[in-house]
Amino acid sequence: MTGRTTQDALEAALRGTAQNADGSAAATAAAAAARRLSARIAAEGLADVTYAPVDSPFGALLLAATGRGLVRVAFPEEDVDLVLEQLARRISPRIVESPAPLEPVRRELEEYFSGARQTFALPLDWALIGPFARRVLRATAAIPYGGVLSYGEVAAEAGSPRGSRAAGNALGSNPIPIVIPCHRVLRAGGAVGGYAGGPERKRWLLELEGALGR
């Protein structure tokens, strides 16, 4: 009886220590240790994918890069967990959050959004882009700042002159929007057409580049 009571008190003390008010201090310390861990993993090149949110005129974009280059730009409406899960499945689950590897991307995007940059000098990783989409997006990447093409023209450039619908699908699932400028591809009559980030943003980007109203 006494032994039982003693053990319960001891167990309560052991548990209490883990759960009491100091639990929040421990959680803060653990979070800080985890941030240092992610920074170290990124600095030592141990992650296969790093990601970070960056501010933009559209809100927080999620950027992700591999050792090869920028692999994903996600708009604010996209579910971060779904984006990360897709990267885990398609590339590698060794994914950590760290702003440092994405700093060059952040800087170039900031310059672009302020009108100070017309072309990106960033290495890209095309790992999320299938063979047909790769041809379409390579043709898209060749459209200069301020220029536009129609879906049909891009399909023709990609070697599939009748594939404007398929080209539209490839553009709609562009994993690296803005940097691969799928916003420069319009409907045949010149209508802005669809955009994964919403037609308002497509129009905004085209205005930034001075491609509308000419």
Give me the least distance between CB of 6 and another protein, in Å please.
6
Half-sphere exposure of 70 (CA within 13 A, CB side): 27
Distances in Å between the Cα of 149 and the Cα atoms of 79, 156, 192, 209 are: 30, 11, 11, 14
**31 belongs to the binding site for another protein (CB under 8 A):** yes
Q: Which stretch binds another protein (CB under 8 A): 17-25, 105-113, 164-172, 181-189?
A: 17-25
Q: Which stretch binds another protein (CB under 8 A): 55-63, 68-76, 89-97, 149-157?
A: 89-97
Q: Token pair 């990609």 is at which residue?
A: 158
User: How many other CB atoms sit within 10 Å of the CB of residue 100?
Assistant: 12
Cα 212 to chain center, whole Å? 27
Pick the binder of another protein from 43, 45, 59, 94 (CB under 8 A): 94
Structure tokens at 46: 């141990």
CA gap 33, 143 in Å, rounded: 45
Give me the least distance between CB of 23 and another protein, in Å please.
8
Give me the least distance between CB of 21 and another protein, in Å please.
8
**84 belongs to the binding site for another protein (CB under 8 A):** yes
182 assigned to active site? yes
Q: Which residues are catalytic?
A: 182
